[in-house]
Structure 1
Amino acid sequence: MTDQSALPETPANMRHVHKPLNHDSAVKHVRGTATYIDDMPEPIGTLHVVPGWARQVVRGKLTSIDLDAVRKAPGVVKVLTADDIPGVNDCSAAMGDDPVLATDEILFYGQVVFAVIASSREAGRKAALLARIEAQPTTPIITAEDAVAADITVLPDYQFRRGSPETGMTAAENVLSGVFQIGGQEHFYLEGQVAMASPQEDGGVMVYTSTQHPTEVQHTVAKVLGIPDALVVAEVRRMGGGFGGKESQANQWASLAALAAAATGETCKLRLDRDDDMIMTGKRHDFRVEWQIGHDSQGRIRAVDLNFLARCGYSADLSLGVNDRTMFHADSSYFYPDAVIRSRRLKTDTCSNTAFRGFGGPQGMLTAERMIDAIAITVGKDPLEIRQLNFYDAEHNLTPYGMPVEEHEVMHDLFGQLVESSDYWARRDEVRDFNSHNAVLKKGLALTPVKFGISFTLKHLNQAGALVHLYTDGSVHLNHGGTEMGQGLYQKVAQVVADEFGITIDKVRITATNTSKVPNTGPTAASSGTDLNAMAARNAARVIKDRLIDFLCKTHQCGAEAIAFQDNKVFVGEQQFSLAQVAKQAHLARIHLSDAGFYATPNITWDRDSAGGRPFFYFAYGAACAEVTIDTMTGEMTVDRVDLLHDVGHSLNPAIDIGQIEGGFVQGMGWLTTEELVWDEQGRLRTHAPSTYKIPAASDIPEDFNVALYQSRGNPQDTIYRSKAVGEPPVMLANAVFCAITDAVASLNPGVVPDLDAPATPEAIMKAVRSIRRAQAGSRGAAE
């Protein structure tokens, strides 16, 4: 492990880094002046694009597409079909299996068949309903069980194996097994999928897109139009939320807008209706998990056998990385001596599931917590004891995929601190007492850990670029490949650059992510946005600053140690100048005041073929304690209290990080308690609006909600000022809520593991309550 005392601390002259500064758009958000794509002024003649789909067809071979009435409808300028695509009819992230417009068959309910270009969005929406599309129906494959029976996948099966799980299971004193259903989740971003495209000279196109991956949009649009990437510029200033739903799935809508612009020569805009958005776009992957665990009489894990059956949808999308990360996190924070972890990536006739905050990690970690709870319930111990008993430690610190857990002591310390600060053991007694005196209402309590790997497991994505200009008035232009979806990335990077130049934050001009400024960017995902882009921006700023220092050393005949940048000034020995003066002098001396910075994450060595190496640069840790009350007569549940303690290393901006922890937890809580996706037997999504899909509201947030940052000594890896990522890990803090519900139901019949699936909706809770009461009645009958 790295000697933390040997690592440099943040320079003492920092004025912005580590400070709780406002989000760069906070005031604009409150005033409603932050510009999103739908707020941008539309050029005269702007046309509107509306996707058309076969509302009466779920799955089948197309036999007839009659669009005459659509073309004749008022306001319609043109109707596009697959025959109008000059390039490749594909908007996939990698696999070439996502058509922009359907051709021979409908692959899922909601697949786009044509696009209407109209003078107004309303006219286009009305016209799209006039299409007559017929198909020869086929029986759709909807569930994981359907896909297993049909033996159909979007990607090959994959597994990790360590030791001999078969031998370990045989040698274990006790063996538990079960099947666990984990539901998906709708992204429900505030700003839906939207894009606006304007034709440019020489067949080029400018695309304003709400995406987490501008370079992929650039590449996809170029591919669809049949033009070079260099003729396409993709730009995004901010998104009204993304959560992974705009990493790959923004491609299709940007491509349709660009196709329309190319076909008409006018600016064209596409904004999905909320219902269409939910029906047409992918979700968090849902899983059927078949688990088996062997343990000794004390509850120490001996062997694990896991089979993850993921419902991926009709195409691969990002299912390779998502499912791999589920496997990477199937250990949660626990050491498995012998283990086999398998994954099947099942193909179903539903929208293609995609990235979602945590990228598969939440499903893997929740499975681990289910197994820990099962052990605790059956051996008659508190789950907290079983968790601590099985934590990684100095002797047991190797993951099933061969990466050492280098900061296991941080996990132990953080977890122990929350046990004390949440007053866990005293509250356990109170919960036990409450349950003994209440027949209908039952309380549950749980304290769960988080260990989340940070980095893209696809090695080439772990790189970033930034463009920094210093102008002669002392102001700075900042651009980088990261995208802003509300998480505060732009603000953090600006703080870093401001402190590098020793200037106030108002001197840094944050500009929209643009593929013509920083090329070949990776997606803003995997919680790596700040790690990558802040480093790239700092590298660029340092190059410019070093040029200025060299210039000043020569001009003033001094050493570099005599020069300091601070408070919008440059100090040269006893003299001081404004940065503007120095920049002006350097420009006159023909010193280059711009740099394209670059950063690549070191030490990433994952080899997927051999299933070995180091897929993550480091781990982020956290812990959550949740107390809930369930009503055993109705299944209703309230979260009474939550205590969160999270490791962000040395926080670049504590206010933003705490906001991310709160938001991530609530989003995870929604996934595990209220957000239920329902497809009918025909494959139609029935929960496609706020009226049928329940995200957490203000009333769902516990009144007693305590959040704190772990007092870290800093990231032992050489990250930006020893900070740690904070975007995705907090989602998994919500596992404590699900485990607390499990604890409450288990109190009805000690020793019996509740049959509780996720999300733990009132219906799911009632199902588990009835099941456990049946088991209780059965045991009484046998005793009599």
Structure 2
Amino acid sequence: MNERIKMDVPAASPLRHDDAAETLRHVRQPLPHDSGRKHVQGTAQYIDDIREPEGTLHVAIGQSPKARGRLISLDVSAGRAVPGVVAVLTADDIPGKNDVSPAFGDDRLFVEDVIDFLGQAVFAVVATNRDVARRAVKLAVMEIEHERPSITVEDALERGETVLPDYAFGRGDANAAIAASPRSLAGQFRVGGQEHFYLEGQVALAIPGEDGDVHVYSSTQHPSEVQHVVARVLDIPDSYVVCETRRMGGGFGGKESQATQWAVTAALAARVTGRPCKLRLDRDDDFILTGKRHDFRCDWSVGFDEDGRIQGYAVELLARCGCSADLSGGVVDRAMFHADNAYWMPAVHVGSKRLKTNTVSNTAFRGFGGPQGMLAAEHVMDQIAWATGRDPLDVRYANFYRPGGNHTPFGMEVEETDTLLGLVQNLERSSDYRARRQEIAAFNASSPIMKRGLALTPVKFGISFTLTHLNQAGALVHVYQDGSVHLNHGGTEMGQGLYIKVAQVVAEEFGIAMERVRITATTTAKVPNTSPTAASSGSDLNGMAARVAAGAIKRRMIAHAAKAYDVPEEQVEFRDDRVFIGNESLSFTELARKCIQARVALSEAGHYATPKITWNRDKATGRPFFYFAYGAACSEVIVDTLTGENRLLRADILHDVGKSLNPAIDIGQIEGGFVQGMGWLTTEELVFNSEGRLLTHAPSTYKIPVASDVPADFRVALYPNANREETIYRSKAVGEPPIMLANSVFCALADAVHSLDPSKAVPLDAPATPEAILRACEALRGRPMG
């Protein structure tokens, strides 16, 4: 384990102030997850584990049986008559606005008239237990004026329906550059969606208080939004609502905006009945009622020279957004921001459409659009390599960002071209890429059925919310008289290790043991107006806010100690649970008590706002990202070309996390992200029928990766580097970038299929399921499947 997390930084790394000389007790140490032991023991408390208050009621959702149409009438009288049913809620019971959207006012809590997707919430039954509620739901009678739904990108294009306006940016005349290039290609590439499949489904518990107050426990990545939307729907001030989240059993973006509806429904039920109310979606309903990763159709054209260098690139990203805007604006914008991935494109056009379909509204998913845009770029790199006969890695090298060619299509400068190139070159050597290439070629030449493939792909991922005002965080720190510390901040814990990282920062600031820092649940009652835990920015934002708060308290303690002992403040040092004051020493606890006796404030609310970022969307100018995180992966696969069955044999990963706050946590994130990305690109397939019914709605029909899918030879290393920007201890974000390392698996599968006939391009879309791979193999054999 120690070799995998070695973090020696080269002397050339751009460190400032005293980072290089710091001796750190907690930060940069591979400490275990604060809830890891409880996770293993099954004692970690999730919302469904909270002891229910006496009289708690349970809520079930009544869903539309049609995907598009108009609700003519709704009769819930039979359900109301069922023993144990306390209330049936419809749009008529909403005291405020029938709006649970994050921004655009187009997501309703319950249908009023227009039906937008099959399964949409029409009403809710509140009963003494879940079984009664679920049975009563089925007794409702709906009269619906049905219309043919739009399901696919092509359906939406035919009807001209979008959830948001088209958007584009670029540089130069891409089409003219393509036309003038020695070589050119064009094509269409489809990228599938993905179900979040968090272990803990959507759940909320709402407890009514006095004078209209309500306390909501929600499995959400965005407690402040839950607070705000509950208040909007109930027509009460935000201050009357507290939203609390101790931990989630996974989120991956699926609980950024779409946890809100279920928290609001529980809160409305509590308001109507005056009793605690809980809503927990079962897995089938969770699949049907919540959005997925956006699927895309990418229409592309590229011009290049004989060496594979791109002269011009044009791509239209056609996103299937579902029935409402939700977070599609930001998701598709980020897909556009990453349509270049790691490559310089002298002339480039990136366009997009946000298409409306009668399916559940798609939403945030780890990577937030970046994976889709980036995969399309990698697909084009492979197409160029096949057309020129060059090694795909050499084509990638030829197009990397470089000095003099280091501005993105939206004008931001890529400052770390040396990091990108050095990282990929290191991985090329450590993975023995060239020798393995030759071995695989020899194997394929002698193996007519089983084919191996190899691919090494880079990742360049921008870190920050692209909605600038979200790049801020707050934290609350108290030091008590016994020297223990209470820590609260706006970030939420979904298994990614945010809480332990921020606690490490606070313990380091005070020079005390980790055991002294009490990690507490995220709650809007302590830290208000927080951003969602998303965009890989949780540690960057909340770590800084917590350090600001702890630092302010520490400075007051230093000032008091220096005055009391008549020494300069520079001679006061906090370390090893003690405070050294000139030639004197006392425990941290003793100084805390002395400060209290001297009426020194030992509580502080810290705030941090990310510097440097600006983005003018209308003019497509600015710097939407604070910095870029980099990575690369080399994947080797084997494919049975008669069945499409395949296996990942080996994966080598080198990833840039700056100077890691916690190497053990970061490696776990890299491994998990890679495997989740591999699932998106190989086994996870969303299938809707022509009526808008999701056919892959349970583990029986939707396949996520399992332990046996993880390669036996799995090598992960952290690239020794320090963030050039002044982030928390010079670390870099690690939540989302590893997803895109899995692009190497998709490209390796295409490489294996390509060996059947190197004169042809591989017609393979994502996900590369066995069926899709078999179709591609048969196409190269000249016998396309029907």
The TM-score normalised by the length of structure 1 is 0.98
Which among 749, 760, 768 is matched to residue 768 of structure 2? 760
In 2: Cα distance, 1:358 partner to 1:769 partner: 30
Q: Report deviation, 1:8.
A: 3.3
Q: How far apart in 2 are the matches of 1:5 and 1:153?
A: 47
Instruction: Determine the C-alpha separation between the residues in 1 that align with 2:548 and 2:523.
Output: 19
Match of 1:34 among 5, 25, 44: 44
CA deviations over 1:281-329 (Å, ceiling 9, x no partner): 0000000110100000111000001001000000000000000000000
Contact 1:10–1:721 under 8 Å retained in 2? no
Equivalent in the alignment of 2:599: 590
CA distance in 2, matches of 1:7, 1:500: 16
Q: Once the 2 structures are TM-superposed, how far is the Cα of residue 225 of structure 1 from its aligned partner?
A: 0.2
1:739-763 CA-partner distances (Å, limit 9, x unpaired): 0011011111113111100000011
Tell me the distance in 1 between the aligned counterparts of 2:391 and 2:186.
19
Of residues 120-129 and 191-200 in structure 1, the stretch that sits farther from structure 2 once superposed is 120-129
Q: Do the aligned partners of 1:7 and 1:716 also contact (CA within 8 Å) in 2? A: no
CA distance in 1 between partners of 2:282 and 2:21 (Å) = 49
Residue among 671, 675, 690 paired with 1:681: 690
Task: Work out which of the residue numbers 99, 104, 107 in structure 1 matches 2:116.
Answer: 107
2:709 is the counterpart of 1:740: no
Q: Residues of 2 paired with 1:10 and 1:119: CA distance?
A: 61
Alignment of structure 1 residues 44-63 onto 2, 5 Å:
44-54=54-64, 56-63=65-72
Rounded Cα–Cα distance in structure 1 between residues aligned with 2:146 and 2:85: 30
In 2: Cα distance, 1:279 partner to 1:13 partner: 51
- Give 1:560 deviation, angstroms: 1.4
User: 1:167 offset after TM fit, Å?
Assistant: 1.9
Within a 5 Å distance, the mapping from 1:242-253 to structure 2 comes to 242-253=251-262
The residue number in structure 2 matching 1:473 is 482
The runs of at least 4 aligned residues of structure 1 exceeding 6 Å deviation read: none
**Corresponding residue of 2:517:** 508
Q: Could you tell me how far 1:705 is from its partner in structure 2?
A: 0.6
CA contact 1:289–1:367 (8 Å) conserved in 2: yes
3-state SS of 1:613 partner? strand
Q: How many residues align?
A: 774
- Structural mapping, 1:174-193, within 5 Å: 174-193=183-202
User: C-alpha separation between the residues in 2 aligned to 1:390 and 1:415?
Assistant: 13
Give a deviation string over 1:188-233, Cα, whole Å, max 9, x none: 0000000000011110100000000000000000000000000000
Find the residue that maps to 1:4 and give its secondary structure. Answer: coil
Which residue number in structure 2 is paired with residue 288 of structure 1?
297
Alignment-mate amino acid for residue 367 of structure 2: G
Maintained 8 Å contact 2:297/2:319 = yes
CA contact (8 A) 1:379 1:751 kept: no
The one-letter code matched in structure 2 to 1:43 is P
Question: CA–CA distance in 2 between the matches of 1:721 and 1:5?
Answer: 10
Q: Secondary structure at the match of 1:169?
A: helix
Equivalents in 2 of 1:733, 1:664: separation in Å? Answer: 8
Letter in 1 for 2:51: P
For structure 2, the residue ranges without an aligned partner over 5 or more in a row are 1-11
Q: Percentage identity across aligned positions?
A: 62
Query: How much does 1:657 deviate?
Result: 0.1
Counterparts of residues 509-524 of structure 1 (less than 5 Å)? 509-524=518-533
Counterpart-to-counterpart distance in 2, 1:679 and 1:134: 23
Give the Cα separation in 2 of the matches to 1:463 and 1:353. 25
What's 1:43 paired with? Answer: 53
CA shift for structure 1 position 12:
2.8
Match of 1:259 among 268, 271, 276: 268
Decide whether the 8 Å contact of 2:227 with 2:242 is kept in 1: yes
Query: What do residues 591-611 of structure 1 show as CA deviations (whole Å, max 9, x unaligned)?
Result: 000000000000001110100
Q: In the TM superposition, what whole-angstrom CA distance separates every residue of 1:395-422 from its partner, at most 9, and x where no partner exists?
A: 2101110001100100101000000000
Match of 2:536, SS state, is coil
From 149, 155, 159, the counterpart of 2:164? 155
Q: Distance in 1 between matches of 2:490 and 2:434?
A: 47
Report the Cα offset of residue 136 of structure 1: 1.0
8 Å contact 1:283–1:355 — kept in the other structure?
yes
Residues 666-724 of structure 1: per-residue CA shift (max 9 Å, x gap): 00000000000000011100000000000001111111111111111x00000000000
When residues 770 and 117 of structure 1 are mapped into structure 2, their CA distance, relative to the original with a 3 A threshold, is same
Alpha-carbon distance in 2 for matches of 1:231, 1:679: 41
1:593, 1:5 → 2: CA distance? 32
Q: What is the CA–CA distance in structure 2 between the aligned matches of 1:340 and 1:701, rounded to whole Å?
A: 37
Distance in 2, matches of 1:631 and 1:557, equals 78
Equivalent positions of 1:341-360 (< 5 A) are 341-360=350-369
User: Is 1:181–1:287's contact at 8 Å kept on the other side of the alignment?
Assistant: yes
The correspondence of residues 310-321 of structure 1 with structure 2, limited to 5 A, is 310-321=319-330
Letter in 2 for 1:355: A
Aligned residue number for residue 530 of structure 1:
539
The equivalent residue for 1:446 is 455
CA RMSD across the alignment: 1.2
Q: Is the 8 A contact 1:57 1:134 kept in 2?
A: no
Distance in 1 between residues matched to 2:362 and 2:501, nearest whole Å: 31
Per the alignment, in what secondary structure is the counterpart of residue 257 of structure 1? helix
* CA–CA separation in structure 2 for the residues paired with 1:243 and 1:268: 26
User: Which of 574, 589, 601 is the aligned partner of 1:565?
Assistant: 574
- Displacement after TM superposition at 1:575 (Å): 1.4
Query: 1:289-368 residue pairs with structure 2 within 5 A?
Result: 289-368=298-377
Paired amino acid for 1:432: A
Unaligned runs of 5+ in 1: 778-784
- Decide which of 219, 222, 245 is 1:213's aligned counterpart: 222
- Alpha-carbon offset, residue 166 of structure 1: 2.1
Structure 1 range deviating more: 2-11 or 383-392: 2-11
The aligned residue for residue 273 of structure 1 is 282
Q: CA deviation at 1:59?
A: 1.9
Identify the residue that residue 9 of structure 2 maps to in structure 1.
Answer: none
Q: State which drifts further: 674-683 or 558-567.
A: 558-567
Q: 3-state DSSP class of the match of 1:159?
A: strand
Distance 2:249 2:224 in 1: 19
- For 1:224, the aligned partner's letter is V
Q: Distance in 2 between the 1:171 and 1:699 partners?
A: 49
Measure the CA separation in 2 of the matches of 1:401 and 1:759. 29
Distance (Å, rounded) in 1 between the aligned partners of 2:80 and 2:153? 40
Q: Decide whether the 8 Å contact of 1:91 with 1:100 is kept in 2.
A: yes
CA distance in 2, matches of 1:707, 1:74: 57
Which secondary structure does the structure 2 equivalent of 1:774 belong to?
A: coil
Q: Secondary structure at the match of 2:606?
A: strand
Partners of 2:539 and 2:739 lie apart in 1 by: 18
String of CA shifts for 1:534-566, please: whole Å, max 9, x gaps.
000000000000000010111011011211111
Partner of 2:3: none
Of 733, 736, 739, 1:728 maps to: 736
For 2:457 and 2:13, locate their aligned partners in 1 and report how far apart those are by CA, in whole Å.
28
Distance 1:242 1:437 in 2: 46
1:25 is matched by which residue type in structure 2? S
User: How far is the alpha carbon of 1:11 from its aligned partner?
Assistant: 6.0
AA of the residue aligned to 1:53: Q
3-state secondary structure, aligned to 2:204:
strand
Whether contact under 8 Å (1:303, 1:336) holds in the other structure is: yes
For residues 49-97 of structure 1, give each alpha carbon's deviation from its aligned partner in whole angstroms, at most 9, with x where no partner exists. Answer: 111113x323211122111111111311110000000000010000000
Alpha-carbon distance between aligned partners in 2 of 1:128 and 1:205, rounded to the nearest angstrom: 25
Could you report, residue by residue, the CA deviation over 1:504-525 in whole angstroms, capped at 9, with x for unpaired residues?
Answer: 0000000001101000000000
What amino acid does structure 2 have at the position aligned with 1:738? F
Letter in 2 for 1:33: T
For 2:697 and 2:104, the matched residues in 1 are separated by 27
Give 1:330 shift. 0.4
Any idea what the Cα deviations from partners look like across 1:351-396, whole Å, max 9, x if unmatched? 0000000000000000000000000001001100000010001121
The aligned residue for residue 198 of structure 1 is 207
CA contact (8 A) 2:15 2:724 kept: no
